[in-house]
């Protein structure tokens, strides 16, 4: 990958029957290799969760490189993903694929940056007859300014990513690394038909040219994650389809 980040060497699969659980990404535990030299899974470990589902933290091993969890096509995935305090979580996928919906539902209040929110705020203050293309540059400046301020605060963060701007993920990775934290990727693998339906439902779409660019970028990210190769600086990735994304009710951060 042309960077000093360790090459990923394995991929995690979801054990059957792990519905209604909390996956916890945090400090890694040293675990001996299983028979045949395959790394033993760190977890799940049962912890009290009070009434309701039992929380079962999951921690990736330290030296094995990037970790990928694939939830597509699986019934009963986790309802909560929990990351270490100060980490950065990037939600990426096609326009209309459900990124903003997932962030609004699952991210902690005040702990997310979504370019869609910035656009809607500007739209409310602009004349209805004014095309978005006219003030799009200002919206982008406002979005990246808000992102920079959030990163500078050191607080944990969930970030909306359109997928076509690799430099944004690189900046997020560097920011996380400087403060000794990790970058995580949530990839929403929606089909083009699902994404177009999502655009129609929200009453706003993208041009055919832009959508084609998004499709190519999303496909590259997904293919790379499927083979265990994540963007430089990215520690873990979770692949989601629409049903598994709908099951996810919380993105939290633990000490």
Distance between CA atoms of residues 166 and 31, nearest Å: 34
Q: Tell me what pLDDT residue 78 has.
A: 87
In the chain, DSSP finds a helix count (H) and a strand count (E) of: 7, 10
In Å, the largest CA–CA distance within the chain is 67
Tokens, residue 6: 């360790």
Q: Tell me what pLDDT residue 22 has.
A: 66
Beta pairing partners, 90: 159, 185
Distance between CA atoms of residues 197 and 204, nearest Å: 10
- What's the half-sphere exposure (Cβ side, CA atoms, 13 Å) at 186? 29
Q: Tell me what pLDDT residue 76 has.
A: 72
220 Cβ contact partners less than 8 Å away, ≥ 6 residues apart: none
Q: Tell me what pLDDT residue 9 has.
A: 30
Q: Tell me what pLDDT residue 26 has.
A: 58
Are the C-beta atoms of residues 95 and 60 closer than 8 Å to each other? no
Going residue by residue through the chain (255 aa), what tens digit of pLDDT does each one get? 333 333 333 233 334 444 445 667 654 432 222 233 223 333 333 333 334 443 343 333 333 467 899 999 887 778 999 999 999 999 999 999 999 999 999 999 889 999 889 999 999 999 999 999 899 999 999 999 999 999 999 899 999 998 788 889 999 999 999 989 999 999 999 999 999 999 999 888 888 999 999 999 999 999 999 998 898 889 999 999 999 999 999 999 988
Are the C-beta atoms of residues 176 and 88 closer than 8 Å to each other? yes
Q: Tell me what pLDDT residue 29 has.
A: 30
Torsion of CA 199, 205, 208, 214, to 10 degrees: -70
Beta pairing partners, 20: none
Q: How far apart are the first and last CA of the chain?
A: 31
Alpha helices in the chain (DSSP H): 99-106, 115-125, 132-153, 166-178, 192-202, 208-226, 242-247
């Amino acid at each position: 990958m042309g960077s000093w980040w360790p090459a990923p060497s394995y991929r995690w699969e979801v054990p059957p029957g792990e519905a209604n659980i909390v996956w916890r990404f945090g400090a890694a535990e040293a675990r001996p290799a299983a028979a045949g030299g395959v790394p033993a899974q760190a977890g799940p470990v049962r912890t009290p969760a009070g009434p309701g589902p039992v929380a079962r933290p999951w921690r990736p091993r330290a030296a094995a490189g990037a970790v990928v969890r694939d939830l597509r096509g699986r019934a009963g995935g986790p309802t909560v993903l929990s990351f270490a305090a100060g980490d950065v979580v990037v939600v990426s996928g096609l326009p209309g694929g459900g990124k903003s919906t997932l962030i609004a539902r699952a991210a902690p209040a005040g702990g997310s940056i979504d370019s869609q929110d910035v656009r809607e705020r500007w739209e409310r203050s602009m004349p209805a007859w004014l095309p978005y293309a006219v003030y799009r540059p200002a919206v982008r400046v406002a979005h990246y300014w808000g992102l920079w301020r959030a990163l500078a605060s050191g607080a944990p963060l969930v970030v909306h990513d359109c997928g076509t701007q690799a430099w944004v993920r690189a900046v997020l990775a560097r920011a996380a690394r400087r403060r000794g934290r990790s970058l995580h990727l949530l990839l929403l693998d929606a089909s083009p038909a699902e994404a177009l339906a999502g655009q129609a439902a929200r009453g706003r779409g993208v041009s055919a040219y832009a959508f084609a660019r998004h499709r190519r970028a999303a496909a590259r990210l997904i293919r790379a994650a499927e083979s265990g190769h994540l963007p430089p600086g990215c520690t873990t990735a979770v692949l989601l389809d629409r049903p598994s994304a709908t099951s996810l009710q919380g993105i939290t951060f633990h000490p």
